[in-house]
């Protein structure tokens, strides 16, 4: 192999003649091999390569062979991985990944910390290229941001395979010992990514294997050994609390509903909790207002809000975050049956308001209504609900960002900054009286669960939820219908449900323990 590489360097063949494929596959896969991921900055305008400090040290240790090998590549593309064999005895394969321009900083138009996102993409590409050739132990350098590298590598190697008979074990990924960065940052990135992977796992499970009862069991398993108090309430408890909107949705299913209450208390005991409310519809047929058959299987992920809230709390507990956090998860199926709610039925929610259910497929807002009303009993510092709530949000923003409705400019700015840091963006939507009127102006009842005019479906849904929050409580509604999957164009997230916006929730809460947002 070394002789072949020398011949190639001598001939100066371009990648179009002999490129990446030869470099990647010229030696057969072997399960006991170790691999290394290093980074290189490139500026297409200047056509120059700059090795990261760690890659520069490695290059010197192999007498410049790394840089010489890179001359085989006509252009190092950002987010692409190029694998070289046998540069040293310890690492049989070395993946060099393109990081793009150095010091790109915050892009105001894209609302992204571009350096962090470039590291995630590069780390994922490097690790996956080594995985594909059979490398079982990967050492990943920090690529200029150890936390982002830990996130990218961990997210990129994960894939859903719970239902496969033969499951692939992903390679072990460690921080390269030659890096001078703080290993705790890498560990933090891995914890955050593992949390998102946990959310991906929950949402991609088929609904017969992820009922409200099974979801509850998975949550109890996930928090075993962590300093989190778990209460699981049943339907009788919900009846005593007069959660009739929540119970109306579940009455059409044979599966018993659950209401999970999680408490993590590491902050000032006098402070109200940061409160997360996650929509937990483990399968949504639409009820009597039945959905079309096409892609109905994707409704296994209609508990994406619940999954991301639970996963975020798990990461925050693992990171020993100094905060008081409460998570509320109403869990149910939405099924058609002889007992199911019917269009036009009227129920009275926990806060006493009557609701006409004109569309049983607008069920998420019903279960959230009672959960939001319940959250106010704990005098929260703020409340954030997260839900795959409306198809209209997917139409409005696609998979680019979560839509956010809020009565707090301060909290939105904090959440927007968190999304820029994590690469999982948010975009503010309006909470105007224009939409409230469509929900509230009725002669025979207080509220309707859908608007009375065409368009603005996400906005009328948010207006409905606002009726269950006192005006003085800071509140954010995050509609994740567009970002939850299964379609995704993010390089470090493979096929299937995405687990978004788990890391943004983590960053949003964690940042408030560091500075006041």
User: Which of the residues are catalytic?
Assistant: 291, 365
Q: Are 288 and 340 spatial neighbours (Cβ–Cβ below 8 Å)? A: yes
Residue position matching structure tokens 């009820």: 287
CA dihedral 411, 416, 422, 423 (to 10 degrees): 160
- What is the longest distance spanned by two Cα atoms in the chain? 85
- Between CA 493 and CA 204 the distance in angstroms is 13
Whether the CB-CB separation of 43 and 76 falls below 8 Å is answered with no
CA separation, residue 114 to residues 100, 133, 313 (Å): 10, 29, 26
Neighbours of 181 (CB within 10 A): 19
Alpha carbon of 289 to those of 280, 296, 375: distances in Å?
19, 13, 29
CA angle 251, 497, 274 (to 5 degrees): 70
Q: Could you identify the residue written with the tokens 């909470």?
A: 431
Q: For the packed helices 146-157 and 183-204, what is the interaxial angle rounded to 10 degrees?
A: 30
In this structure, the strands spanning 34-43 and 112-113 are: unpaired
> Can you give the length of the chain in residues?
517
């Amino acid at each position: 192999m070394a002789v072949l590489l020398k011949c190639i360097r001598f001939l100066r063949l371009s990648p179009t003649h002999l490129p990446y494929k030869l470099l990647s596959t010229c030696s057969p896969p072997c399960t006991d091999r170790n691999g290394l991921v290093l980074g290189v900055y490139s500026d297409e305008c200047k056509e120059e390569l700059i090795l990261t400090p760690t890659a520069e040290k490695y290059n010197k240790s192999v007498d410049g062979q790394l840089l010489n090998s890179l001359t085989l590549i006509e252009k190092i593309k950002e987010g692409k991985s190029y694998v070289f064999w046998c540069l040293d005895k310890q690492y049989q394969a070395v993946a060099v990944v393109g990081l793009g321009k150095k010091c790109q900083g915050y892009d105001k138009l894209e609302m992204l910390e571009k350096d962090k996102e470039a590291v995630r993409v590069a780390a994922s590409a490097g690790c996956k290229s080594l995985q594909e050739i059979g490398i079982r132990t990967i050492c990943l350098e920090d690529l200029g941001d150890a936390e982002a590298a830990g996130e990218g590598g961990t997210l990129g190697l994960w894939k859903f395979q719970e239902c496969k008979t033969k499951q692939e074990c992903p390679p072990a990924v460690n921080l390269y010992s030659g890096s001078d960065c703080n290993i705790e940052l890498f560990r933090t990135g891995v914890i955050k990514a593992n949390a998102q992977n946990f959310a991906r796992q929950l949402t991609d499970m088929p609904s017969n294997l992820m009922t409200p009862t099974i979801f509850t069991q998975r949550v109890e398993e996930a928090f075993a050994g962590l300093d989190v108090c778990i209460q699981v309430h049943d339907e009788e408890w919900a009846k005593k609390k007069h959660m009739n909107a929540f119970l109306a949705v579940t009455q059409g299913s044979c599966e018993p509903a659950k209401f999970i209450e999680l408490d993590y208390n590491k902050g000032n005991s006098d402070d109200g909790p940061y409160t997360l409310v996650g929509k937990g519809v483990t399968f949504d047929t639409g009820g009597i207002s039945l959905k079309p058959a096409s892609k109905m299987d994707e409704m296994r992920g209609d508990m994406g809000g619940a999954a991301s809230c639970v996963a975020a709390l798990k990461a925050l507990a693992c990171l020993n975050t100094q905060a008081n956090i409460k998570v509320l998860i109403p869990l149910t199926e939405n099924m058609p049956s002889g007992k199911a709610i019917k269009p036009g039925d009227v129920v009275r929610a926990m806060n006493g308001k009557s609701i006409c259910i004109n569309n049983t497929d607008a069920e998420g807002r019903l279960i959230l209504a009672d959960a939001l009303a319940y959250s106010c009993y704990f005098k929260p510092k703020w409340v954030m609900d997260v839900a795959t709530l409306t198809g209209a949000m997917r139409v409005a923003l696609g998979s680019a960002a979560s839509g956010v409705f809020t009565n707090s400019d301060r909290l939105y700015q904090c959440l927007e900054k968190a999304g820029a840091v994590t690469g999982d963006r948010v975009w503010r939507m309006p909470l105007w009286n224009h939409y409230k009127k469509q929900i509230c102006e009725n002669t025979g009842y207080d509220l309707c669960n859908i608007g009375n005019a065409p368009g603005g479906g996400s906005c009328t849904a948010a207006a409905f939820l606002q009726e269950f929050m006192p005006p003085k409580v800071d509140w954010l509604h995050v509609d994740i219908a567009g970002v939850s999957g299964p379609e995704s164009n993010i390089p470090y997230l493979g096929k299937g449900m995405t687990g978004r916006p788990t890391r943004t929730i983590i960053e949003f809460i964690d940042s408030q323990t560091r500075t006041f947002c």
